Chains A and B, each alone.
Chain A
């Protein structure tokens, strides 16, 4: 299967800082990938390279194309929402739909109108008259009406209230995603996307700290909750990370058999947020 995104030694330098440091990456089709990392870890730099918005070093191929040289052609198959509310504020909704339809060969006006009918956005509205949440709905309606193979969402719900955020991901999953499509999401609100992700990529200091499918994560990582008296036994098994909660010790293990841990206390599959903290604070995964 031809990967949607394939990177080898991908780097991005801003002056003296290496924002992306020789990343190797393969994203196959039909996945929903969460690209997760702390602020300044290089997520956005990596995404900008993938979208042809920035120059880079190393080898990068997106849908078989070179993004820095073929951005316009690439955008026929790739959609992105980079940040909330970047739609031009002066434009009217009907003008936005009109210009997108005339420039984008894979845009369906009918589908866009269908999505918009579920919102309070009307064609006569100017973008500047809409609330932040409505702008996000409008942008999502535009993007979902495009029959693209790769959708990149960079903090698509930042600053939106919980109702809009939930609805945003629900529409995305129910009305848009299928096996032909690939979605890459970066967000700080990990809890909201973790149940829809199929793959995880953690980035730290411009390097990939973890890359795994969610099934692999479930198999590899185990969370163990033990009473204080058995904490030393648990520590002996070399946990990745340890924290305390309500007097209990919680340990996170990488590739330690569940049978070896079961006797010590309660076992859980760690949440992405906990795994993220463990990976960032503890050693390399």
Chain B
């Protein structure tokens, strides 16, 4: 356990830029945009007259309305964090078992009494828990800072931010469901993580190419054969991966429903699962047949990655 934590710590040191600086930059951008919009408003809005009116109108709305909208806005602002996190994890895993082979430092890491299984476990933990946790933490901090700035603005036009939004919002609910969805998505995407680690352990060079080309070639072949047989363009590997993302327990899309915007788990284009953002729907995916098949596929890929890693210092 102590060794595993030391190895995860090592991953953090090596990927500080991706894991820590990236979400901080996103959080910083959110705050900068908020401040810029405030200054723009202050510049054109004579003595903040329009702003004052808007706050007053909002204050007249029922508390449930403000709570529901506030909740959507809070969760909705995580979308950018989530998408960047996906990119960070993707490229992190592609390099995880490749970079040290390339610069030969694998010879040093293999001289330490840590097994290859432990090494791969540490890389998975960094991708599945460490990176999402840091992104989530920075997201929460960003929202706190933004709430403080918004409160000051509301105070400046003579309204009470506590009664207006602070008391009706339920930030803990929004934050915790986001964290749960991050961790659930980590498990949901294990087959893809496994594939990336396998490629990372295998690729002689340019892992990105080896990760993307085989599935693309496979899917094109599938579509072509299907077309020859039936003259239709039906489901292929693209379809399977697309559906996998659409079914994922990560909050990925916003949609307009009954005249107001709501968020959805994955993309609400499939009927396998309920896409409403609830804890039950997140867990539903984890305890599904889909997940079981996904875990089996992940096990094969990870087994392959381990097999390759054991032999990685041979030549």
Residue ranges of A at the interface with B (Cβ–Cβ < 8 Å): 14, 48, 51, 53-55, 71-76, 79-83, 86-92, 95, 98-100, 102-105, 139
> Which of under 10, 10 to 19, 20 to 34, or 35 or more describes the interface residues of B?
20 to 34
Shortest Cβ distance from residue B110 to the other chain A in the assembled complex, whole angstroms? 6
Shortest Cβ distance from residue A84 to the other chain B in the assembled complex, whole angstroms? 10
Q: CA of A283 to CA of B69 in the docked complex: distance in angstroms? A: 89
- In addition to A82-B111, A91-B14, A103-B6, 19 A-B residue pairs with Cβ atoms within 8 Å of each other are A53-B107, A53-B110, A54-B311, A54-B314, A71-B116, A72-B114, A72-B116, A74-B113, A75-B113, A82-B107, A86-B104, A86-B107, A87-B105, A87-B108, A88-B100, A90-B13, A99-B7, A100-B112, A103-B112
Shortest Cβ distance from residue B117 to the other chain A in the assembled complex, whole angstroms? 9
- Asked if B173 lies at the interface with its beta carbon under 8 angstroms from chain A, I say no
Q: A54-B313, A71-B110, A80-B111 are in contact. Are A89 and B105 (CB under 8 A)?
A: yes
Which partner residue on chain B sits nearest A80 by CB separation?
B111
- Asked if B3 lies at the interface with its beta carbon under 8 angstroms from chain A, I say yes
Assess the B314–A53 pair: CB atoms within 8 A.
Answer: yes
Assess the B113–A76 pair: CB atoms within 8 A.
Answer: yes
Q: A14 to chain B: which residues have CB within 8 Å?
A: 315
Kindly name the residue among B6, B107, B116 whose own CB sees the greatest number of chain A CB atoms within 10 A: B107
Q: A48-B314, A53-B314, A54-B314 are in contact. Are A90 and B110 (CB under 8 A)?
A: no
Specify which of A76, A83, A89, A100 is in contact with B107 (CB 8 Å cutoff).
Answer: A83
Q: A88 to chain B: which residues have CB within 8 Å?
A: 14, 100, 103, 105, 108-109
Assess the A89–B103 pair: CB atoms within 8 A.
Answer: yes
Q: B314 to chain A: which residues have CB within 8 Å?
A: 48, 53-55
Which partner residue on chain B sits nearest A53 by CB separation?
B313
Which partner residue on chain B sits nearest A78 by CB separation?
B111
Q: A81 to chain B: which residues have CB within 8 Å?
A: 111
Specify which of B14, B113, B311, B315 is in contact with A103 (CB 8 Å cutoff).
Answer: B113
- Asked if B290 lies at the interface with its beta carbon under 8 angstroms from chain A, I say no
Q: CA of A92 to CA of B5 in the docked complex: distance in angstroms? A: 18
- Asked if B205 lies at the interface with its beta carbon under 8 angstroms from chain A, I say no
Shortest Cβ distance from residue B44 to the other chain A in the assembled complex, whole angstroms? 48
Q: A100-B112, A103-B114, A105-B113 are in contact. Are A91 and B13 (CB under 8 A)?
A: yes
Shortest Cβ distance from residue A270 to the other chain B in the assembled complex, whole angstroms? 34
Assess the A104–B113 pair: CB atoms within 8 A.
Answer: yes
Q: CA of A75 to CA of B118 in the docked complex: distance in angstroms? A: 14
Instruction: Write out, one digit per residue, whether chain B residues 1-40 have a CB within 8 A of any chain A CB (1) or not (0).
Output: 0110111011001100000000000000000000000000
Shortest Cβ distance from residue B230 to the other chain A in the assembled complex, whole angstroms? 44
Q: A99 to chain B: which residues have CB within 8 Å?
A: 6-7, 9-10, 112
Q: A51 to chain B: which residues have CB within 8 Å?
A: 110-111
Q: CA of A71 to CA of B312 in the docked complex: distance in angstroms? A: 13
- Asked if B115 lies at the interface with its beta carbon under 8 angstroms from chain A, I say yes
Q: List, sorted by A's number, 14 A–B pairs whose CB atoms are closer than 8 Å.
A: A14-B315, A55-B311, A72-B118, A75-B112, A75-B113, A79-B111, A86-B103, A86-B108, A88-B103, A89-B105, A90-B13, A95-B10, A98-B9, A99-B112
Which partner residue on chain A sits nearest B3 by CB separation?
A103
Q: CA of A103 to CA of B107 in the docked complex: distance in angstroms? A: 15
Q: B10 to chain A: which residues have CB within 8 Å?
A: 95, 99
Which partner residue on chain A sits nearest B16 by CB separation?
A90
